[in-house]
Structure 1
Amino acid sequence: MTVLLAVTCAVAVGNIYFPQAIIPLIAAGLHTSPDSASVAVTATQLGYTAGMFLLVPLGDRLPHRSLLVALLSLTGLALLAAGCAPTLPLLVAASALIGLATVAAQVVGPLAAGLVAPERRGAVIGTLLSGSIGGMLLSRAFSGVLSEWLGWRAPYLVAAALVLFLASILARTVPVTTPSSCQPYPALLAEALRLLRAEPDLRRSCFYQATVFAGFSAVWTSLTLLLTGPVYGLGAQAVGLLALVGGGTMLCTPLAGRVVDRRGPDSVNLVCMLGVLFSAALLTAGALGGAPGLAALVAGTLLLDIAMQSGTVANQARIYALRPDARSRLNTTYMTCAYLGGSAGSWLGVWTYGDAGWWGVCALVALLTMLALARHVVALCGGKPGATGSRPRATAVDRPIAPR
C-alpha cells in the first residue's frame, strides 16, 4: 500500500511539473511567445493552490478512497481537455482545472500519517515524498522526450490515460477510512485559516516552504528559457534530461525523514536552508554556458532539489504532530502557502530572467532563502521550549479528538 500511495503521489505531482519542460514547444504550436506560453504553467500552479484550499480539507470529512478516485477522474478529464486545446486561453483554462483537481498527493499524506506510528511518521513521509519527487523529475523528462517526438499535445494525452488507469486501481485497493470530522464544508475551510492563526509552528513551516519553493520554481521555470535560449541552444528534451539528475533526491528524502524522527525537524530545516544558499551560488556559473556552465547547472539543481525536498519532510513532520484530528486541514494551510509561494516564484523567475538574466534569478533564490533563514534563526534563538519543533510531538496522544 505504501508503494501504491507513493505512485499516486508521483502521478499527481507530475501533472504539475511536466508542462515546464515543453513551454517552447507549446509556444510554437499555438503561435505565441514563450513568455505567454509560460502562463499555462502558472495557471496550473495557481489551480493547484486553489485545489489545496478548497478540496484537500475534505480529507477530514470524506472517506479517502472516494475522494482520491473522484480527484483523479477529474484530473484525467482535464488533461484530455488540455491535450485537445486549440488555443492558448483554452489551454490555460484546462491547466487551471488540472491544478485544481490533481491534489491527490495532499490527500495521501494525511491518510498515511494516520496509518503509522508517530515514531515512523517522518520515514513514511519521506517515502511518499520520494514518489512525488520521482513524478516531478520523470514527468519533465517524459514530457520533454515525448513532445520532441510527437508534439506538445502527446504528454497531456498520455498523462490522462495514466491518471484514469490509476483511479480504477485505487477504487479497489485503498482501505476504507473513517472521517475524523463531521464539520460542514464552510467550517472546514474556516478551520484551515484559524489553524494558521492559532499554531505558530504551522505559520513558520508555511513561511519556510513558501520562500524556498518560490526560489525553486523560479529556477526551474527560468531554466527552460536559459537552456533553449542563445547561451546553450538546446531543445526541450535537454530540459527533461537535466531534471533526471535530481533522481538522487528520491534516495535522500527517506534518509531526511529518519533524521527528523531522531533529531527533530529544526536541525534538518537549518541544513536545508544553507544547502539552498549554496545551490544558488553554484547556479550562477550556469550563465557562463558551455560544459562548465552545464556542469554548474547539474550540480546546482541537484543540491537545490535535495535541500528543498528534505526541508519539506521536516516541515510536514512538524505540522502533522500538531493536531492528529485535523491533518488534512493542517496540510491544506501548509501546501496552500507553499504553492502560493511557488506560483509567485514562477512569475518572478520569468520576469527577473527577462530583466536581469540568469544572474538575477540566482540572486532572487538567495534573497528568498535568506528571509527563511532569518526567521528560522529567530525561532531557534527566541522560541520557548517545545515551540521550535526540535522534536516531533510523537509522545502526544495520537488519536482523534473532538473537532473544535
Structure 2
Amino acid sequence: MDTPILVLNTGSSSVKYELVDPGTRGRAAKGLIERIGQERGRLTHRNGDDPPYVRDRPFPGHGEALDALMEAFAAAGPDLAPVAVGHRVVHGGDRFTGAALIDDDVIAAIEELSPLAPLHNPVNLTGIRLAQKVFPDVPQVAVFDTAFHLTLPPEAYTYAVPRDWRERLGVRRYGFHGTSYAYVSRRAAAVLGRDLAELNLIVLHLGNGASATAISGGRSVDTSMGLTPLEGLVMGTRSGDVDPALGGYLARTNGMDAQQVEHALTHDSGLLALAGTGDMREVRARDDDEARLALAVYTRRIRKYVGAYYALLGRVDAIVFTGGIGENDPLTRAAALKGLDRLGITVDTELNESEHRGEREVSPPTAEVPVLVIPTDEEQEIAHQTLTLLT
C-alpha cells in the first residue's frame, strides 16, 4: 500500500480499526477489540484473506487494547507503518468545518466540547492520546461526525430557545453520522453517473443509531439529529422525537431527575421499549402485536421525514438507504416508502429483496426518483479526509 492510513474508532468499550489505502480504496487489515474493561475481552484481527487472528483475554483499559492491536499486527501482519492515523471524533461543535491536524489546541477543543457528547468525546480523546504515544512521529488527524452538517443554514440549525442558551451554551442543531453521509452521497452520485453538485438527495442512515439528512449539491441542508444524537428517528434504544415537556412531566409525576430521563430516552427507549429488543432482526423474526407496532412506529417516522425533506428540497434526485438496517432490511425500505408513489418514489419488490449486497438501485427502471442502497464505509471516508488534509 502506497499511502496506508490507520483508522481508529475508539468507543467506550471497544476499538475498531482498519489499515486503509484511500487512493485505491483497498484494505490491508481490519479488526475489532471488544468488551474493554470487562472480564471477557476479545480481539479479532483480519489480514486480507488469511484466517482471522483471535485472542480472548481481558483488556483492562484502552491502553492494553492498543498494545494488543500492535501485537496483532506483529503476529499476523501486515507490517504496520502508517503515514498517518485518522481518528473518528463524534462532536466538533461549530468549531471544526472539516478534518483537523491534531495538536494541543485541537485536543483542548475536543475536551471543551465533551459536555455535548459525554459518552463519546472523552473516549475519542483517549484513543488520540494513546495513538500519539505509540506513533509519536506520525501525523494524527481528527475527523468529526458533526463537520458535514456545518453547512446547515441558520433556519435549519437554530432552535427557538432563549438567546443565552444559543450564544453562551451552544444550543443548536449539530447533526451526526457526517462521515457516513459524506461517503454515501459521493458514491450515490457515482452510481447515478451524475455530478454530486447537481443532485438533491435524501439519505437515510438506519442502524442502531438512525438519522435522515437532506443533501443539496453535496451539502447538508437539514438533518434529523440535533444537539445530541437523540433527536429524530426511532432507533434501537433511543426514542427520537418526543414532546420537550416530557422531562418536566416525569419530574412532577414520577420523581425523575434530568439525568434519569435522559438515560431512559437514550438507553431504554426506541425499539427496545416498544418490542423488548433493540435489534431489528429480532423484531422482524416475531409476529406479535408489540413487534408489529414497533415496526409501524419505526417506519412511519422515517416516512414523515422523507416527506418533509422532499418538500424542503423541492426536487429529489434519489432516496438513499445506508447503515446496517438500511442496507440489509428490504422490508424496512419498502415500508418506509410505502404510499409515496405520487411523489415518484417506489421500490421494485424483486430488486429490493435481491440477495445482492453491493451498491444497487432497488426502484423500477422507470421510477421518477431512483431508490438506492449504498453500503456505508466510514473508515474509508476517515482515511480519505485524513489524506486530503495532509496532501
Question: Which one has the largest radius of gyration?
Answer: 2
Higher relative contact order at CA 8 Å, sep ≥6: structure 1 or structure 2?
1
Asked if TM exceeds 0.5, the reply is: no
TM-score, normalization by structure 1? 0.29
Structure with bigger strand share is 2
